C-alpha cells in the first residue's frame, strides 16, 4: 500500500535508522505467519487514522468538558468512538481513553474498590492476566487478590471451587477473563456467583472482544458491572484500551481514568478506535469473526491429528494452548525454532507447568491475524503440518518449512 511506503520514506528523510527498522518490521509482518493470539493486522483506515495531526492535541477531560481550548474536533471524534462502542456492545456507558488494557483494569479497580480490598481473579498460571492480581503487578500489590484456577484434569475453569471460595471469603469484586483460555467462559454463572455474594463483577474481555461483537462468544455486558477490553486483539483496532459499564458506574469510571490514572488522551488512537468500531459494526466483520473460530477449530483438529496435546482438548474460540511435553520440546525452544522458520507464536505456561515462566511447556497459537490475511481452513491444516515438522524434524526440514511458509504468505499478501 503506497501510503505506508510513503510514510516510511518521510520518516527516512529525517531518521533513516528508525525508518529502516520500521521497514524491516513491515517486511517481517508480510513474510511471517502470525499466530500470536493477541495480535492482528489493522485496516489501512485504522492505520491512517493513527498517523494524523490529532496526535498534536491536548484534550484532558471529556467531550464538552475539556481543560484546553480548541477541542471541538477531537470532541467529535471521541463522541463518535463512544457512541459506536456503546452500539457495538449494547453498553450503557463507554470510556475510550484508556491507553491500554492494563490502564483500563487499573482504573476499573480504582473506581470501585479501595486498596487492601478482597478481589478474586483467574491466576496467570491458569491462563489469567498479569493485571488480575499477579503478585508482581500493581493489582496484586494494591489489592488482596485470591487467585482461582482451572481443574487440573479438564483444564476448565473450576466454577464450583470459585463459588465455594467466593461464598467463604466474600470479596468486594470478582474478575473474569483470560489471556490463554481456549474455551467459552460462562460469564452469566460467574456473575451470579459474584452478585449472590454481594460482590461486583468485572470482565476483562480483551482477547475475545471481536468474538463478543459478532456473537461468537456470549457477551459479558448483560452480566458484568464493568467490562474492560483492549481494542487491538480480535477487535482489530489500534493498540489501546476501553471500559464499558453500567450507567451507575459511569462517573466513577471516567474519574478513575482522568484525573485518576491518566492525563491527556491519545486522540489519534481514539480516532483509530472510532474507525475500528465502525468496521466492527459491519456484516463483513461478523463474517470475519466466524472465520477466525472456524480456522481456530481447523488448526486445533489438525494439531490433535498430528499427536499434539491441547489444554482442554480443543478450542471454542480464537486460540489453542499446546502442551508440548509429549513432543519433548519446551515452549521457549519451540518459539525460537518457529521464529527461525518465520512463524511467530509465543511460549505459554500450561496449567501446573513444571517449567519456569521464561521457559514454559506450552505454546499459544491463535488465528485472528492469519484470518485477516485470508487464510482458510486448508491453510490452517498446512500450518499445523508446519508446526508439527518444526517440533519433530526441525533440523532435517527447516529449509522446506521456510519455503512452505513463504508460499502461504505469498498467496495471502498484506498491505500490497
- For the annotated catalytic residues, the residue numbers are 58, 60, 204, 230, 233, 239
One character per residue 306-345, x = contact with ligand DSN (rule: CB under 6 A): ----------------------------------------
Please provide residue 34's backbone torsions phi and psi, each rounded to the nearest 5 degrees. -95, 110
The DSSP bridge pattern shows strands 226-230 and 200-204 to be parallel
Residue number, 101 or 331, with CB nearest to ligand DSN: 101
The DSSP bridge pattern shows strands 93-95 and 144-148 to be unpaired
Show contacts with ligand DSN in window 94-123 (CB under 6 A). Answer: 101
Closest approach of ligand DSN to the CB of residue 158, in Å? 21
Contact residues for 1 (Cβ-Cβ < 8 A; gap 6+)? 44, 415, 416
Show contacts with ligand DSN in window 1-60 (CB under 6 A). Answer: 38
Residue number, 57 or 129, with CB nearest to ligand DSN: 129
Residues that contact ligand DSN, how many (by CB under 6 A): 4
Question: Helical H runs in 198-356?
Answer: 209-214, 250-255, 267-280, 283-305, 331-340
CA 224 – CA 373 distance, rounded (Å)? 33
Record the cell numbers describing residue 407, joined without a space: 508460499
119 within 8 A of 172, measured Cβ to Cβ: yes
- The string of DSSP letters for 109-144 reads HHHH--TT-EEEEE-GGGT--GGGT-TTSHHHHHSE
CA 180 – CA 314 distance, rounded (Å)? 13
Closest approach of ligand DSN to the CB of residue 96, in Å? 18
One character per residue 340-379, x = contact with ligand DSN (rule: CB under 6 A): ----------------------------------------
Closest approach of ligand DSN to the CB of residue 230, in Å? 7
Contact residues for 153 (Cβ-Cβ < 8 A; gap 6+)? none
Closest approach of ligand DSN to the CB of residue 316, in Å? 17
Residue number, 179 or 261, with CB nearest to ligand DSN: 179
Cα within 13 Å of Cα(97), Cβ side: 26
Residue in this structure with the C-alpha cell 503478585, named with its chain if needed:
135
111 within 8 A of 258, measured Cβ to Cβ: no
One character per residue 118-147, x = contact with ligand DSN (rule: CB under 6 A): -----------x------------------
Residue 210 as a binder of ligand DSN (CB under 6 A): the answer is no
Closest approach of ligand DSN to the CB of residue 87, in Å? 25
One character per residue 166-205, x = contact with ligand DSN (rule: CB under 6 A): -------------x--------------------------
Residue number, 101 or 351, with CB nearest to ligand DSN: 101
Residues that bind ligand DSN (CB under 6 A): 38, 101, 129, 179
Amino acid at each position: 500500500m503506497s501510503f505506508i511506503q510513503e510514510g516510511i520514506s518521510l520518516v527516512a528523510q529525517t531518521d533513516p535508522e528508525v525508518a529502516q527498522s520500521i521497514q524491516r518490521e513491515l517486511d517481517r509482518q508480510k513474510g511471517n505467519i502470525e499466530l500470536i493470539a493477541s495480535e492482528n493486522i489493522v485496516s489501512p483506515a485504522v492505520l491512517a487514522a493513527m498517523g494524523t495531526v490529532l496526535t498534536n492535541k491536548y484534550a484532558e477531560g471529556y467531550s464538552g468538558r475539556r481543560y484546553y481550548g480548541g477541542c471541538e474536533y477531537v470532541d467529535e471524534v471521541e463522541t463518535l468512538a463512544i457512541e459506536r462502542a456503546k452500539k457495538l456492545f449494547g453498553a450503557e456507558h463507554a470510556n475510550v481513553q484508556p491507553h491500554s488494557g492494563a490502564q483500563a483494569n487499573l482504573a476499573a479497580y480504582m473506581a470501585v474498590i479501595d486498596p487492601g480490598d478482597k478481589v478474586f481473579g483467574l491466576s496467570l498460571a491458569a491462563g489469567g492476566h498479569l493485571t488480575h492480581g499477579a503478585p508482581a503487578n500493581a493489582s496484586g500489590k494494591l489489592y488482596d487478590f485470591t487467585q482461582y484456577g482451572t481443574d487440573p484434569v479438564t483444564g476448565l475453569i473450576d466454577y464450583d471451587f470459585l463459588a465455594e471460595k467466593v461464598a467463604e471469603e466474600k470479596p468486594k469484586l470478582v474478575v473474569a477473563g483470560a489471556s490463554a483460555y481456549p474455551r467459552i467462559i460462562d460469564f452469566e454463572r460467574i456473575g451470579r456467583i459474584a452478585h449472590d455474594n454481594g460482590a461486583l463483577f468485572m470482565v476483562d474481555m480483551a482477547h475475545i472482544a471481536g468474538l463478543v461483537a459478532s456473537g461468537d462468544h456470549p457477551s459479558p455486558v448483560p452480566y458484568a458491572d464493568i467490562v474492560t477490553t483492549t481494542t487491538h486483539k480480535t477487535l482489530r483496532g489500534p493498540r489501546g484500551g476501553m471500559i464499558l459499564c453500567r450507567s451507575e458506574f459511569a462517573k466513577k469510571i471516567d474519574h478513575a481514568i482522568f484525573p485518576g490514572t491518566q492525563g491527556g488522551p491519545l486522540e489519534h488512537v481514539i480516532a483509530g478506535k472510532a474507525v475500528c468500531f465502525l468496521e466492527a459494526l459491519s456484516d463483513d466483520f461478523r463474517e470475519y469473526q466466524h472465520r477466525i473460530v472456524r480456522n481456530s477449530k481447523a488448526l486445533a483438529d489438525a494439531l490433535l491429528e498430528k499427536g499434539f496435546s491441547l489444554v482442554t482438548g480443543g478450542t471454542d474460540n480464537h486460540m489453542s494452548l499446546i502442551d508440548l511435553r509429549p513432543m519433548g520440546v519446551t515452549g521457549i525452544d519451540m518459539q525460537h525454532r518457529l521464529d527461525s522458520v518465520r512463524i511467530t507464536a509465543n511460549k505459554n505456561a500450561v496449567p501446573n507447568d513444571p517449567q519456569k515462566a521464561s521457559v514454559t511447556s506450552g505454546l499459544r497459537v491463535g488465528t485472528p491475524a492469519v484470518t485477516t490475511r485470508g487464510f482458510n481452513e486448508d491453510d490452517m491444516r498446512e500450518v499445523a503440518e508446519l508446526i508439527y515438522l518444526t517440533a519433530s524434524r526441525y533440523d532435517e526440514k527447516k529449509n522446506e518449512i521456510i519455503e512452505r511458509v513463504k508460499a502461504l504468505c505469498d498467496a495471502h499478501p498484506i498491505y500490497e
